[in-house]
Amino acid sequence: MLPTRMLAAASLLALATACAQPPAGPVKAAADVDWPFYGGDAGGQRYSAAAQITPVNVAGLKVAWTYSTGELARHPKAIERAAFENTPILAGGKLFVCSQFNRVSALDPGTGKELWSYDPKLDDRVRYPNDYICRGVTYWADLEAPTGAPCASRIFLPTVDRRLIALDAATGALCPGFGKGGSVDVGQGVLLERKGQMQITSPPVIVNGVIVVGSSIDDNQRVEEVSGVVRAYDARTGAPKWAFDPLANAGPGVKAGAANVWAPMSADPARGLIFLPTSSASPDFFGGLRPGNGGMANSVVALDAATGEPRWSFQTVHHDVWDYDIPAQPTLADVGYGGRTTPAVIQATKQGLIFTLARDTGAPVIPVEERRVPQGGAPGEPLSPTQPFPIAPKQLSPTKISETQAYGLTPWDRGKCRDLIKGARHEGIYTPPSLQGTILYPFTGGGVNWGGLAFDAGRQVVYVNTSSALHKVTLIPADKVKATKQAELDTEVSEQRGAPYGMKREVLRVILPCNPPPWGQLHAVDMRTGKVLWEVPLGATGDLAPGSQFLLGNVGVPNFGGPMATASGLVFIGAAMDNYLRAFDGANGRELWKGRLPAGGQATPMTYVWKGRQYVVIAAGGHGKSDTKRGDQVVAFALPGPLSQ
């Protein structure tokens, strides 16, 4: 006979197993739901009204279909320098997927069967600093075109080699009336030192027939970098409409470039506005030749879509010398903070901060304070004495560490990490880069990155994931950069040409990160109060350090990609560096299901209902900078069995 404690444990296990089983019987058919934009809607809420999959039955999800883009075979060597960050869209009855190498495929939403594909024929010998990436494509229906006419509905494809291509959404054929034979050279007239210096990685946005596109520019190479101009074109003809430079008002005597928009933008067609998340001015870690706060760098900028004129801007970092550019799509939502509903822009940042701004004016909906930050930068560095902090929610990422908090699996690991931390300058967030070497915490890849956040308007809850790691940034006198590069071949060393200092950036880790876990988290924030409802670790270490998960469990790992929320109260997310797609209960953060992926799922999932069945889809192709398993598959999950009416 089993002891009482063992009987109780067995009973609890049986109960948990029973609760995890999906209900018997067919799934009820649901009304069809599209996902027509990269972020679900034009404002990037990453929310779906689909509710067939629920917290009760989500454990029954199975693979419904998979689709291979074929890129592993086409680009066997360059795939190591690629990241499959795509979020597919469902519009006009087709699912559109963009591969790492900008190949677009139109798929049957119910089977994953390829209906057509278009390959822009990239030269995969070119080295791009941000890898081969296509986060998404843009669908547009021309309401002035005759029904059924060629290119009456279009897919706009941005490419890493700076083309904006218009395709017939029905057939995949080039739209000959757009630009030159269906393509516009976004880099026309831009003087580049090398081919890969400028690229496009995020989907364009369209308002009232005007299509707007940003760019990604190589970091830390020189002071007078390529300008981060945002460009607009006529969506029918490709004719240029306007151009906007975030540094146009940076002030006299400023030598800088970049401040580009590499992350996805958002649109409010009713207001005729486009919202830009701008990056930092060049170079990232020394600003002595760009005095002042940097114009509209590191800002949320609202532009008039028709003219490109700025309506307002709000800066999240003054005089950035930490590479804390705005990495995520601004999310447009009606926010009920303090009992009053306000049309707002919710902006997550690398610092783990969330700013909530009025959509019409840019004024903070949740108050923002200017707080004193560490001073004493490198010689010639005019730092800002303060930085902006919203009073709510709390900062979602840790910002301070001492050598006594050094982490490691063994005493030797901890000792090495302790020495690395002790030897660097660190006085909390915004400690300036130094010749001694400065710890940036959060590192430049987190808290929040390009995956952004999901917003459930009915529940007034933001769901957002963060990463936590340490970067050490060391300034190097210009005359010693070349020797440092030669001596440290496996470390990132950049010249920052024209500045008195180059830079060295390294992640502090010994197998695992030197800061204590969790290294990745998923958070829920009540936007009526600004309070964090829950936060849980995201991911396990098994695919980073095999066997370590048995010692550490689900401690959370660094992640790239974002969450997606549904009306049934579920939050789906891949992102973590352990090759799973997960479903969480939005009410309490409990992990309800996870599905193994054939390669890294460092992408944001999407969902739709097609012919009565709900599918959850994610790109599983890995990530070059995360060094997760590479692949070329799109995976769709659904509840199995027949549908009932």
Q: For residue 288, give both structure tokens.
A: 């002595």
CB atoms within 10 A of CB 249: 13
Contacting residues for 538 by C-beta, under 8 A, at least 6 apart: 465, 518, 520, 521, 522, 556, 557, 559, 573, 575, 576, 582
Give ∠ CA 320-326-331 in degrees, rounded to 5.
Answer: 150
- List the one residue out of 604, 619, 618, 613 whose CA is nearest residue 638: 613
Region of 469 please: left (phi>0), alpha (psi -120 to 50) or beta: beta
Asked if residues 485 and 501 have their Cβ atoms less than 8 Å apart, the reply is: no
- List the one residue out of 587, 642, 444, 571 whose CA is nearest residue 58: 571
Region of 511 please: left (phi>0), alpha (psi -120 to 50) or beta: left
Full 3-state SS string of 92-112: CCEEEEECCCCCEEEECCCCC
Full 3-state SS string of 154-176: EEEEECCCCEEEEEECCCCCECC
Q: How many helices (H) and strands (E) does the chain have?
A: 5, 46
Separation in Å, CA 597 to CA 113, 508, 600: 19, 28, 7
Asked if residues 357 and 365 have their Cβ atoms less than 8 Å apart, the reply is: yes
Asked if residues 344 and 334 have their Cβ atoms less than 8 Å apart, the reply is: yes
Distance CA 585, CA 588 (A): 6
Separation in Å, CA 544 to CA 50, 185, 472, 492, 627: 34, 40, 21, 21, 9
Alpha-carbon torsion (466, 325, 101, 629), positive or negative? negative
Whole-angstrom Cα Rg for the chain: 24
Omega before 442 within 30 of 0, i.e. cis: yes
Distance CA 118, CA 182 (A): 12
| Burial degree of 38 (CB within 10 A; 0-12, 13-18, 19+) | buried
Q: Find the catalytic residue in 124, 161, 168, 323.
A: 323
Q: Is 593 helix (H, G, I), strand (E, B) or coil?
A: strand
Separation in Å, CA 512 to CA 134, 437, 443, 554: 29, 21, 15, 14
**Which H or E run contains 411?**
helix 411-422
Asked if residues 164 and 184 have their Cβ atoms less than 8 Å apart, the reply is: yes
Strands 563-566 and 47-48, how do they pair? parallel
Contacting residues for 17 by C-beta, under 8 A, at least 6 apart: none
Separation in Å, CA 322 to CA 303, 384, 399, 626: 26, 12, 13, 20
Contacting residues for 69 by C-beta, under 8 A, at least 6 apart: 97, 99, 103, 105, 621, 632, 633, 634
- For residue 323, indicate whether it is catalytic: yes
Positions annotated as catalytic residues are: 323
